[in-house]
A and B are shown apart, each in its own frame.
Chain A
Amino acid sequence: MMEKKYWKDYQREIADDDYFYHRSCIRQTFFPGSEALFLKILKNELGKNVTDDPNLHTCTGIGYHSDVVPFDTTMTIVARLLSQMNKSELKNFVPSCVTTFGLLSEVLDTWKHFPEELEKTRKFLKEATGREFKIPENVAHPSDIIYKNRKVLKGKMKYQLVNKETGNPLKVVEHIGCHYAKIFPENTTGGAEFPQVLAGMIEAWEGKVIDYPERRHCCGFGFRQYLIMANRGYSVANTKKKFESMQPYEPDFVVANCPGCAMFMDRWQYTIAEMEGITYDKNKRGIPVLTHEEMTGLLLGYNPWDLGLQVHQVQVEPLLDKIGVVYNPDDKYVGKSGIKLSEPQRPKNI
């Protein structure tokens, strides 16, 4: 039986240049180097025009998915973001966060099918701020843009996803944010079931994608699972289920394009280790979890400590050694000012 390339049915237009970047509420705390790195890649590696506007704000995603913010408010706030993009005379919206990407897709789809909602939003925004807005020509997630340019970037890369010692491809678990692919699969690269956006990068950069039983399972974030304290047991249980499922394949690392996924799959490994003494790699050090920007930056040869990899829960040095990344261990906790910061305590079980 010929393997069907389902993801080929989900090809979308990704704008080629002139991007308006919208930062995430939480990513700069979780992964402090990722957003700055994406902008560097666009400007310095790919020579693209991108605007990083400081006058932006939340998309309401977390509040919306927690039933705190009503949809009318969400649409108006999204409209305010678009009006800010219009000021820059750009037409291609690039949200860093997959929840913003999903929310924007939902709002635009609502306006397409219910024009009266669009008119209502125009009225609300005008009354509240005096602003007007235009619908973007293109909405692409940063992972879409990296995917689109994966072959160009490969030519600039210092390393590939190959084990330096053995020459074998690194085994990579890719995890797509639910809000990227599961709300509007047709708006994504590769759809929801066999997504290609990260798999395409991994394969282009000579790694091997692991297809494990719980590949599509929730990472353990899930707003209602995590935001409500009483539900956090579900959150960690989901993460445990995923790691148990991927463990037999002995992945070298996990890569995700969602703030919540990368965060929870990284941090909950520590929690599980503390709760049950379980780790999921052979050396009992956990499986490193990277954002897609961090993976790209590492291969391009950026200093891992400039990428912020030292703030990850699961330490990345074993992965750096496998790839052959040259780094100075003494610089790991040196701050931007050049002063050495205090080192975090090493956990007992990971």
Chain B
Amino acid sequence: MKKKNVIVIGGGPAGIEIAQILSNYSCNVTLFEKEPQVGGQIKRIDKLFPDFIVQDEMMQKLISNLEKTDIQIHTDTEIKDIEQIDNIWHLKTNKEEAFTADAVVLATGFKTFDPKYKEELGYGIYPGVITTLEFEDMLKAGKIQTSAGEEPRRIAFLNCVGSRDEKVGNHYCSRVCCINAVKQSIETKELLPNAEVFCFYMDLRMSGQFYEELYRKSQEKHGVNYIRGRISEASSTFDHRIQIKSEDTLAGLPLKMTVDLLVLMIGVEASEGTTNLSAKAGILGEYGFAKSLSLHLKDNLTKKEGLFLAGACKRPSTLREVIADARAAAFEVVNYLKMEING
């Protein structure tokens, strides 16, 4: 029996996991990743919430079997076009190469919100205003410092930057930022016990397992301060610190504070690849994400036969959800192609 061809688009955790599972079945698996290396956006994270597992180690475990498989991996390669003709999927890359497949899995993931659209927060203008990813770089390096190379005395984290924000057109919650701010606050206090840490929030959505406990611990053990209010404006002070204005909506009072670092918890958006390929395949959902056939029972299927979805290309998701979703998507592909496990 002729081996089926499966193409996985996206070499993040979802794409890697699904490709590895499918490689155990009677099919040829091809994986495309637009970056020079597989791994996806998670590579930039130091430790994972809620258990502070080192990301590099986790990803190493995830990727360790990849080399032992016969998966064809094309890095630096972006799928630009996708079309289904007579049940066969035809794909074209940025290098003008053509591929065909019996099934395609979209695992094109997300991108982070560009905070320049929230001009009032001064990102790109004031060096003391940074994103959560830039802060993660500092955590990875084991040293939190201001642009002047000094140890910060006071750090503020601002949630919902580009999420739940009508002005930028993102009404949805990015789901990972609240707990990530809690994680980063604790890591800050561990590195800089004398620093003051403030988290500004609208609601704290501690819906995952161990999230609420971590939130409590951040206050009780580490003394992180939580202020319910958004920051309306950031500006530079005479000594190049950051002045922020907000409202403490629980106290009902306006608030002005000077900090050394303002960390913007930038939200999750559909990646360009997700939006572009979803549009071309006719499965474009809300906010540029890919649309599954049914949220509850057919979440890995699409209205196009042979086109499957895995991970954060559908909506903002945590890493745990992405990996579980990839496994579910693999199951759907195996069922669809009626494949048998390799002997």
Residues of B within 8 A of A3 (CB): 124-125
Check: B236 CB closer than 8 A to any chain A CB.
yes
Residues of B within 8 A of A248 (CB): 238
Selected from B119, B124, B125, B237, the residue in CB contact (under 8 A) with A191 is B119
The distance from the CB of B134 to the nearest CB of chain A, in whole angstroms, is: 8
Check: B235 CB closer than 8 A to any chain A CB.
yes
State the main secondary structure of chain A at its contact with B: loop
CA of A150 to CA of B3, assembled, Å: 70
Most B CB within 10 A of own CB, among A193, A211, A248: A193
In B18-41, the 8 Å CB interface with A consists of: none
Contact A193 B124 (CB under 8 A): no
Which one, A106-114, A212-220, A231-239, A262-270, is touching chain B? A212-220
State which size class the interface on B falls in.
Answer: 10 to 19
Check: B127 CB closer than 8 A to any chain A CB.
yes
Interface membership of chain B positions 112-127, coded 1 if the CB is closer than 8 angstroms to chain A and 0 otherwise: 0000100110111101
Contact A2 B124 (CB under 8 A): yes
Check: A6 CB closer than 8 A to any chain B CB.
yes
In A23-41, the 8 Å CB interface with B consists of: none
CA of A216 to CA of B244, assembled, Å: 12
Contact A4 B236 (CB under 8 A): no
The residue on A at minimum CB distance from B116 is: A4
The residue on A at minimum CB distance from B234 is: A213
Check: B212 CB closer than 8 A to any chain A CB.
no
Selected from B120, B127, B235, B238, the residue in CB contact (under 8 A) with A249 is B238
Interface membership of chain A positions 173-202, coded 1 if the CB is closer than 8 angstroms to chain B and 0 otherwise: 000000000000000000111100000000
Check: B243 CB closer than 8 A to any chain A CB.
yes
Contact A216 B235 (CB under 8 A): yes
In B33-58, the 8 Å CB interface with A consists of: none
CA of A49 to CA of B184, assembled, Å: 61
Check: A1 CB closer than 8 A to any chain B CB.
yes
Selected from B125, B127, B147, B237, the residue in CB contact (under 8 A) with A194 is B125
Contact A6 B237 (CB under 8 A): no
Check: B233 CB closer than 8 A to any chain A CB.
yes
Contact B125 A4 (CB under 8 A): yes
Selected from B116, B119, B235, the residue in CB contact (under 8 A) with A215 is B235
The residue on B at minimum CB distance from A210 is: B238
Contact A213 B127 (CB under 8 A): no
CA of A216 to CA of B234, assembled, Å: 10
Selected from B116, B233, B236, B238, the residue in CB contact (under 8 A) with A6 is B116
Residues of A within 8 A of B238 (CB): 212-213, 248-249
Contact A213 B124 (CB under 8 A): no
CA of A211 to CA of B234, assembled, Å: 12
Contact B235 A194 (CB under 8 A): no
Residues of A within 8 A of B119 (CB): 6, 191-194
CA of A249 to CA of B243, assembled, Å: 16
Contact A213 B236 (CB under 8 A): yes
CA of A211 to CA of B123, assembled, Å: 15
Can you identify 30 A-B contacts, CB atoms within 8 angstroms? A1-B124, A1-B127, A1-B147, A2-B124, A4-B116, A4-B124, A4-B125, A6-B116, A6-B119, A6-B125, A192-B119, A193-B119, A193-B122, A194-B119, A194-B125, A211-B235, A211-B236, A212-B235, A212-B236, A212-B238, A213-B235, A213-B237, A213-B238, A214-B235, A215-B235, A216-B120, A216-B233, A216-B235, A248-B238, A249-B238
Residues of A within 8 A of B (CB): 1-4, 6, 191-194, 211-216, 248-249
Residues of B within 8 A of A (CB): 116, 119-120, 122-125, 127, 147, 233, 235-238, 243
